Structure 1
Amino acid sequence: MVQPLSNSPQPAPPQQIIIQNGSRGGILWRVLAVFGWLGVMFCVPIILAQAISSASYYNTTEGVNEKFFSGDKTADDKIAVINISGVIMSGEGYIRKQIDLVREDKSVKAVVVRVDSPGGTVTGSDYILHHLKKLKEERDIPLVVSMGAMATSGGYYVAMAVEDEKDSIFAEPTTTTGSIGVIIPHYNVSGLMKEYHVEDDSIMSHPRKQMLTMTREMSEENREILQEYVNQAFTRFKDIVKEGRPKFAADPEKLDVLATGEIFTANQALASGLVDKIGFIEEAVARAAELASIDVKTTRVVTYNQPTSLFDIGLSQSKAMNWDKMLELSAPKAYYISSYLPPIVSSFPLGAN
């Protein structure tokens, strides 16, 4: 029997009520997590930049890399070749970085200083000499000099880092050396100015402030003052030579004969005692190994290079003749240099030192 359809309303299905505990707290945590990650992403580059900056600040050898030169590539013991090339100005830079690398490398048992320089400023030459002697003393390792095409004036001055070591200065057969002396460049263009009706009307605190001006003829009084300055620098040069060449300390008059600014061939320098041997860098390396009591055949000889990019070359050229450099060139300086235009050569990047 079919039941009649009921017209009474059907009960509604039961509603499900979902209660989410801490829903506001979940949203808050998600917001904090987003900000946290953003903070990390923002802070990490800053921390890395500070770390790199700090490392760069304390890194004294930045941009200078060790390079295999000769010998046994797998050897532990090293002989380091420190290059001094071009005009010596401040003494900082490439030369100082090489010295610092050798000082830190305990596997270096001896040093060969390769000099190919006409010299430079008195202060720059003395600065390099000081740090070479300090390196030799602190590391207690032998130091030998190998002269290249030119080792004159300040270039010869830094070679005295060998001190009284026997058979320690090698000159190649075609080396030019000597030029022991001091010069303060001065040029007098007052006659030219007079011809073109140009006058120097500078205002100064004292007339001696312009002792080296090119626009006026130098007075005898000023010349005597500057000559005394040169004489003292010259005396120091000869004293340094006596430390590196003890035979001249025993007979100073022999040094006076040589210390006239004259340049010498390798054979002339050998005969007069300015150098010890005629030989190439290989002979200097062999002598350094002998002094260090190591076998040159089982030693790694290394040198140091300073990579230069096209950007660096362009930058150095753009700075070559800026106003700061022009002012620096006009400042009076004493030079240990073999050149007839000392102030001019310093404006060009002949030596990265």
Structure 2
Amino acid sequence: MLYLIAEYLGFPGVFNLFRYLSFRSGGAIATALLIGLIIGPRFIGWLRVRQGKGQPIRSDGPQSHLAKRGTPTMGGLMILTSLTLAILLWMDLSNPFDWACLFVTLGFGSIGFLDDYDKVKKASTAGVSGKVRLLAEFVIAGLASWLIIRQTGTELYVPFFSGVSIDLGYFYIIFAAFTIVAFGNAVNLTDGLDGLATMPVIIASMAFMVIVYLAGNVKFADYLGIPHVPGAGDLAIFCGAMMGAGLAFLWFNAPPAAVFMGDTGSLALGGALGTIAVVAHHEIVLGIIGGLFVVEAMSVIIQVFFYKRTGKRVFKMAPIHHHFEQLGWSEPTVVIRFWIIAFVLALAGLSTLKLR
């Protein structure tokens, strides 16, 4: 909104700053952070009153988690509020990529909210049917993917090789939708310990802030040999808002957590990262930068696959962060070590920009 106002005025004087993505990205970080910190206490208090017993805790999980009973969930609403307001304030409202990402973020957030609400209402960890959730997620992701490819094309680019791509045609819509849905659920599975999912999302957002900025600049994209996507640079503002909203939430989610983000936040943030990667044509790189989320999701898939066929467990408990808890690692130890892994993977993903 501020960009269009400045553009309408002709970018006079100090308004010339709004031309620069770096300034607006910084503004989005600060705005989302400030809004989150301001609304956080009242929001958490409201959730505590409305939910009573808070988020249901798995009875078969680590016994230390039983102490978290009564902690309110749906903190993702706080994230979505600060993130959305910051984006609308600083984005270029004429950019279709911003709207596609916001559509997925709010759509996945709505699905997560219904799931969280069902869990709290029934005092159960079951929530909405998995099939219903996936169907709704694929519909939203499919629509967003269709809107995106109208601007970007249907090529799948291979990292480490300059100019190597595979044109998937309309099959790309399926691939892009799968990427968005898979990553949304991967982040959702990771969100099991205080702060575990939040910081890796912030780190991945920081990495993709760099990627979308470079992909949106024709000179940088040509120099690095990465696909140039006109308009993708504006998503740096979206990444900035995710970072600011995530930092504000982490303030209240730091151990011991005063609130959980729930599926409302984790699905939304994961879906947003997946959509940003699709826009920038860095879907494979997303698997590197977000490798922690991939491992978490794969641990669940492997566990279910082998248990159904052999009756034996590969891990003591899945997702894999619970496996390490069962090995005797304390919750803060698991969280901080996983943060370090997420940071290293983000650096590895960024290195693909030059290794071509």
Q: Could you tell me the TM-score, scaled by structure 2's length?
A: 0.26
- Structure 1 or 2: more strand by fraction: 1
Larger Rg over CA atoms = 1
Q: Could you tell me the TM-score, scaled by structure 1's length?
A: 0.26
